[in-house]
Amino acid sequence: MGEIYDGLCSDCREDSVYVDEPLCMKCGKEIESREGEYCYDCQRRKHIYDRGAAVFKYSDKVRKSIYRFKYSGHKIYGDFYGKEMHDRYREIITLWKPEAIIPVPIYRGKFRKRGYNQAELIGKRLAELTGIPIDTYILTRSRNTIPQKELNYIFRKKNVENAFKVTGSVVKYNKIILVDDIYTTGCTIDACARVLKNAGVKEVYFITICIGQGI
């Protein structure tokens, strides 16, 4: 492992490649042509969220970094990733005008075992840098789910159906940003967006650490 840089191993940092324009106007994946508006996945599938962005392309080094962040207690990575989100997308966040940052929740059993929610750590750092309040209570995961990486699109969608709920009957926000680690097909973000919009949120955006191709 290389030297630690801003809380992240230098080997991982050097191999972490930013997503670059042109980008899909829906999910933020790279697309081949500047004349196109949407990636192949977003052309085929309708999403419930309004728009999203990611910092890095999905790569083996980023995957290993996120694994250490989630499962090996490397909580300091949350500061690094939250700062990267802020530095990369501060202007877009300003344009979106969110009233709250909401981390994608994990199931309470996983939280007890792990001791933290990685999305919450990222969200807290992003909240500190933007001045936007973080709300870790409004959205909860009501049941355990299989890791999405093990499933194809159809089963990913079924896996997170009815997996989230909003505490209370009405949400006080009009616009929010969801924060999570990885975006692939958008099933998890859509499942969160569905319950939030059903509860009164008008616009749901997201930012993730990295983004990969859908399946």
Weakly modelled stretches of the chain, pLDDT under 50: 1-5
pTM of the prediction? Answer: 0.89
30-to-33, 37, 74, 194 alpha-carbon distances in Å: 9, 10, 29, 25
> Helix, strand or coil for residue 73?
coil
Interatomic CA distance for residues 103 and 178, integer angstroms: 6
Q: What is the pLDDT of residue 160?
A: 74
Digit-coded pLDDT (tens) for 155-187: 566 667 788 999 976 678 999 999 999 998 899
Walk me through the domains of the chain, giving residue ranges and CATH numbers. 4-211 (3.40.50)
User: How are beta strands 139-141 and 164-166 bridged, if at all?
Assistant: antiparallel
Q: What is the pLDDT of residue 96?
A: 98
Quick one: which of 90, 82, 95 has its CA closest to 208?
82
Rounded to 5 degrees, what are φ and ψ at 23? -120, 150
Q: What six digits make up the tokens of 144?
A: 């355990």
Q: What six digits make up the tokens of 137?
A: 């209570």
Q: What is the pLDDT of residue 133?
A: 97
